[in-house]
Structure 1
């Protein structure tokens, strides 16, 4: 349970970094490619909102919720986990080439402009990298950064003694 919780916390931190990168890189896209980014597109199609402010709030909550969920999955993966900079783009691929188009929510990524895909891949590298670093920091805090404790990845003492 703690692995999932730490992964979700790390995923939330990583989503903040990703969001900052997305906002900045979105402004650098050509004008005709500055249509809403996938978090807003997905929530607009799946969670209809009565007004623009509610739609923005729904997009932010869904984006951070998904980041936390994907982080929780990462936290539960057995060691050695894949590198974060690999896991992030894998989440992108499974989402934007997999379940999102399969659910008829958005067209697959390869139907979108290359620069938008490059933006999304890059921010998923950011997300995965920050996820991995944040999870390592949480595990180090559990090992004693805030006092006595042990790593989430350490074997229970009785398993070592047995």
Structure 2
């Protein structure tokens, strides 16, 4: 899983681990302890190591980065594996490629909320910002340096 420490990534790691998956994540070295603490069995520092050379074949790659990660991600898939992304990627056109967009249903959101309430899934909040700092929240989010979620509040 690429961007395993991100807002979406840290949830995906936990849900995959809860369902019995052996989770391998990519993250900067400073996030390795965090990613392991939420359920990843293996973490690869993408700043120093090519994940495509460092791991064995996998059934699924969840790519939250996109771009040039696609073709390299395809190289680590087992026969019949799937490459799932939420961003445009250079793997487009490959039959294993699937781009997904989030359309949560009330039932899905209830399941997520229940997992959080039971303590099966933790929400990591990196930072809380007032609504008038929405530009800063976008800048932070786009920087790729946010661990977990950013929260905007309607008050200062």
TM score, norm. by length of structure 2: 0.26
Q: Which has the higher contact order (CA 8 A, sep 6+)?
A: 1
Structure showing the higher helix proportion among its residues: 1
TM-score for the superposition, normalised by structure 1: 0.25
The structure with the largest alpha-carbon Rg is 1
